[in-house]
Structure 1
Amino acid sequence: MSTETIELPAVFRHHVFCCYQQRPPGHPRGSCGASGAAPLWEHLGKQLQIKNLADIGMAATGCLGFCSAGPLMVVYPSGVWYQPRNAEDIDEIVQTHLVGDGIVERLAVVLKP
């Protein structure tokens, strides 16, 4: 077994994973999609393009496991989970976290499995 450590280049400075899970209305677990996620993630994608943030990756995901808390997104490598509710929240996350490397504490959530 090798103990050599290799340095891999980062593909993205930040990588945002956005839950698009859509369950039927009234499903007991709920879903990010049912909580209005799609327009938020569309706004996020547009903001990344408008601001030319090519070093920020964005990926659509299925269920992230915390359905009743949605809509949810998680930003890596920091591992910060956010619960945005509107376009202004997305703008604040983009400016403060993705551009400025800070954390938007009022939107960050601590989730327990």
Structure 2
Amino acid sequence: MNAEDELELPQLYRHHVFACHTERPPTHPHGSCAASGALALWDRMGKAIEAQALSDVALTPAGCLGFCNTGPLMVVYPDGVWYRPTTAEDIDEIVESHLRKGRRVDRLVIVLKRS
């Protein structure tokens, strides 16, 4: 296939959120997002997306995102923005600012580096 023949793929979602649902025992050395309270946060986010009828936003439960001791973690695509929300208010702000209005919530952004 050459450049003129590139396949145009439709974008199904304006934002696609992947939220870590990994759950390990509390004593596990890697920790886990679930042990950090993530599941209640993701539940709140899902309900907010549904309540606000954000049909162009998808929330997908994910396995480990690779930075276990940093959680709870989520990433918003196609922007590639990683967030570490810790409160219900953080979730509300991400939904309103980033997912509704397209404005990143800088105070909740986490910059991750692979070692």
TM-score category by the smaller chain? Answer: over 0.9
Structure 1 residue runs of 4 or more that deviate by more than 6 Å after TM superposition? none
User: Could you say what secondary structure the match of 1:94 adopts?
Assistant: helix
Larger helix fraction of residues: 2
The DSSP-based 3-state class of the residue aligned with 1:106 is helix
Q: Which residue of 1 aligns with 2:66?
A: 65
**C-alpha displacement at 1:2, in angstroms?**
2.8
> Gapped runs of 5+ residues in structure 2?
none
Q: Distance in 2 between matches of 1:13 and 1:7?
A: 16
Q: CA deviation at 1:7?
A: 1.8
1:15-64 per-residue CA deviation (whole Å, 9 max, x = no partner) reads 00000000111111100011000000000000001101111001001100
TM-score w.r.t. length of structure 2: 0.95
Alignment of 1:1-113 (within 5 A): 1-3=1-3, 4-113=5-114
Counterpart amino acid of residue 65 in structure 1: G
Gaps of 5+ in 1: none
Percentage identity across aligned positions?
Answer: 56
